[in-house]
Chain A
């Protein structure tokens, strides 16, 4: 910005910690045109002085040198399309955490101001994106979840297009007679109302249903998807804004459960097969059509089993109880035994469990069924281990029902892409070894071939990335709709193992998010987690070398490639995390308020003392979502830390470009520390891949340091969580100690 004004607060111990007398001159030397102090800048008087300067056009950039940006955030909020704002923290990071009156504290505060001004000079006003947004929501899947999502989105005012590959609505519930209770009194099965729901969907003026229709291709971005459909009437293309994937789950393949008698005896069936049988009004043994006297349910058939599905499918206990209750209702004298490992009837379903237990002819027995023997028409024998009745007991039944778990009907978009890439490399690779390795990888991934559901034309693959076990999910505790493909939301059993009641709720949630995404698009705003952010990235493509790092590393699949490999940015897919900016070796990607140049200038603004001064300088890039708030909490608790530290907030560790590390070392910093979130399977990174990418990139930099005869110890990445406030000062101290041991940066002063 051209006309920068500094507003410095002297309250909250700032003026006691540092001598502010020289700050006006310092700010002037660093480009500030206005300077004012106030004993309480966040007071009405202090704020009106800032507003007057902004509104009078005296300044276009405001530097607020006061508390942390997380304090008084509402008071110091300005319209970023009209004025640039930089918050310099002289309170938490200086006055509350460093010795008052010490020269190191003074140097820190001065550097904070220099860094803030350097950055403010280079940030730009935000220009919001104005785009035409299609308001239609596409729902893929016409089971209960898809129908509920369609009804909810339509009632929220979005036209809905529901496509279903099958010939009818209702999904698997179309073959089901009763449901598990979902409302009080929770103690009895209830008639399945899926037909009424389907009728409501068909009759809804806001919903268009296409049966026997698949998605051939989805181009574009949220608000502007172009969807090619193929159905009985041929191919059509529609414009939609957001997508809900409600493709449900398939029962685990019982053919793999031969040990439990499936495929061996005709009288071993699955819960879904029993559902269909009861729905047709019959209860009979497939072998001879006779009614069984005793039915045994085998729980966890293929679930909670490392050899099959490692997870619990969540709904099978209640489903088996429902079937036992249905048998009791319609075929009163048939006994039902349920063999379970842990009976999982959470919440109010306990009442249902009690009711089924008390039903005459019900037997619940704990144990693990290790085998089912018998064939033809004779009774079947179940071998039950770890039972209450003994280590190995036998149980007889005329019909055995396997409670097979659920397998999400999803496609692993990233694996499909990896397969396609491997196939290509296997044919056209540069060397024999590349071709051989690629062929081996392709063989490993071959099951993913042809599994596409959404057929997204995204560089990173045609479907949602999966988290685990085929479920497309991300931060499933706090943010279950934080999809990795903006504007596309999974709901129901494809999203995560859940029962029908939960799936219906999930449909409501996904509909809310889909409609919300379109509302945010219309306002030009990012969606979660930087919701409300109006900025978008710009790419200086004339300098692009087609290295593809940005297109490969964006966790949200924002960037496509043209035939040459030049990035094609889709701003409506973008979550503004800055990971592309961190990836780009040519430094061509910028956000108006977060750019290579802005951060590099902060680094260069620090006055690094000479080696003789014995005042090392350490730069810490800290994740502004967790690590930095944790540090500020340490300050609020008046913990102190090493005054050699200079801190730069990063949108995410993934948004730290390695050039900044090089800049730091060439500026004379003695060490560089990156503090961010946990990576790996249980990642805490809010942008999924950021901390993992940072760790990988920095380890490459460490190798380079070695080559430059600079010690690799000068660069370190440390994982910290939001509640690690007590540890961070120690992490600083230990790193500072190591740096002292390593000695001053030999490039200092060059």
Chain B
């Protein structure tokens, strides 16, 4: 594989799938350009507290991957960058990349003086908007590139406090968007997923009841760096919940929402049941499910949680969630076992919302076909591939396998 005579691969999205594709191809000797729309790499996985089934922190593997990325001379990482246009050429793709203005540039040392003087507050994107942070701040503490970010739109008119506070000339409040054109031998879209919106589930209280939260918010809540410093609290009143209910297939396996199974939500809820029981040993947990899908070695997680005191798995479909007495929530559950309707209560409800592929504009730019559920399909002839959850609902382990193999497919399509 002679890098000098071949065009680089382009990987779009620096979550676990895109990082993996980029690293595996680059470690095999291929030049890779890795672009990420957010200001830091890590995507969804870094927003998870722990991985199932081992309950280990994603930051651990990401630390290794970041090190691999830094050491590899064949990867060029461009954050805050998106694909604006792409045109098919005889030898691959000519891609126009647009990079958001770099108000904080590579001179930033992460010292934090700018943040101290910043008068503006914004919602913290890393914590899914659950907290407020200064407009100029680290994207998160493990962020790579290790550089502060500025939400320029939030700056008070004429404010230059951060630039004045920076001793390193790292802040340019007049920075402009930049564009560049890249010839890529093949393209891998690893643009990931977004959670099915809570607002789409009003019958389950989504977007309507403060104490009905999504599984992704639960991950942030238990993280030490999350909005509550790791404490499981009811959003409405900050109280410790005594009863937590997990509603499986919230918007999945449902013709009115997502017809497919999102493949990870059962395991995510089993894992979150452990979070609850370990932090709040007095709190009761109930998981309402249609099927407990714990394939492979994940079965051990199901066995572990099913045997935990204070946890009950109930086969039943939750149809409706309303405000109950005394600030609680009441759930109407169809118990498939007994054929009866159950009335259940909880203080905090976690909706196991599924994964929606996030491909939109990139799918259009590269003209890829999508299946009826919106997941992207590989097109080797057109030298464009899809890896990770943009291609299929799957867990991290499967995404990593898939992304490693996709590196091979892209290298072959681009021509050795």
Footprint of B on A, CB under 8 Å?
A: 11-13, 39-40, 42-43, 67, 70-74, 77, 152, 155-157, 183-186, 304, 310-314, 342-351, 354, 366, 388, 468-469, 471, 475-481, 496-498, 502, 505-509, 511-513, 515-516, 519-520, 523, 527-529, 531-532, 625-626, 629, 633, 636-637, 677-678, 682, 684, 686, 721-723, 725-726
Contacts and interface: CB of A to CB of B under 8 A. Distances in A.
Nearest to B144: A70
Contacts of B208: none
Interface stretch (B106-114, B235-243, B276-284, B343-351): B106-114
A346 B405 contact: no
B404 A529 contact: no
Interface stretch (B36-44, B157-165, B255-263): B255-263
Given A480-B400, A637-B141, A347 B70 contact: no
Interface string B45-82: 00001010011111111011101101110000000000
The 6 tightest CB contacts between A and B, nearest first, are A508-B405, A478-B61, A509-B404, A723-B57, A516-B28, A346-B263
B233 interface: no
A531 B71 contact: yes
A372 B316 CA distance: 28
Interface of B: 1, 16, 23-25, 27-29, 49, 51, 54-61, 63-65, 67-68, 70-72, 107, 109-111, 138, 141-142, 146, 167-168, 223-225, 253, 259-263, 291-300, 303, 315, 336-337, 339, 371-373, 375, 377, 392-394, 396-398, 400-402, 404-409, 411-412, 416
A218 to B, nearest CB: 23
A497 B297 contact: yes
Contact of A345 (B49, B261, B394): B261
B111 A11 contact: yes
Given A388-B336, A721-B60, A725-B224, A155 B412 contact: yes
Given A43-B168, A511-B405, 6 more contacts: A12-B109, A342-B292, A351-B259, A479-B400, A516-B24, A529-B67
B297 A468 contact: yes
A12 B336 CA distance: 62
A721 B339 CA distance: 45
Contacts of A152: 405, 408-409, 412
B412 A349 contact: no
A633 B401 contact: no
15 contacts: A12-B111, A183-B371, A310-B303, A354-B259, A471-B297, A478-B61, A496-B297, A509-B402, A512-B404, A512-B411, A529-B68, A626-B60, A682-B56, A722-B63, A723-B49
Contacts of B25: 512
A532 B64 contact: no
Contacts of B400: 477-480
A354 B253 CA distance: 10
Contacts of B138: 636
Nearest to A725: B224
A721 B56 contact: yes
A471 B377 CA distance: 30
B280 to A, nearest CB: 19
B72 to A, nearest CB: 6
A348 B260 contact: yes
B404 A531 contact: no
B72 A532 contact: yes
A478 B396 contact: yes
A155 B412 CA distance: 6
A342 B313 CA distance: 12
B293 A344 contact: yes
Contacts of A497: 295-297
Contacts of B401: 480-481, 502, 505-506, 509
Nearest to A498: B296
Contacts of B55: 682
A388 B168 contact: no
Contacts of B109: 11-12, 40, 42, 67, 71-72
A170 B398 CA distance: 24
A354 B293 CA distance: 16
B406 A686 contact: no
Nearest to B292: A342
A313 B23 CA distance: 30
Counting chain B CB atoms within 10 Å of each CB, which of A347, A351, A481, A519 scores highest?
Answer: A347
A432 B51 CA distance: 49
Contact of B260 (A39, A350, A509): A350
A301 to B, nearest CB: 15
A519 B1 contact: yes
Contacts of B107: 40, 42-43
B32 to A, nearest CB: 13
Contacts of B49: 723
Contacts of A157: 1, 416
B372 A185 contact: yes
Given A67-B109, A156-B411, A345-B261, A183 B377 contact: yes
Contact of B64 (A72, A354, A509, A529): A529
Contacts of B27: 516, 519-520, 527-528, 531-532
Nearest to B49: A723
A351 B259 CA distance: 7
B295 A71 contact: no
Given A184-B372, A346-B293, A388 B167 contact: no
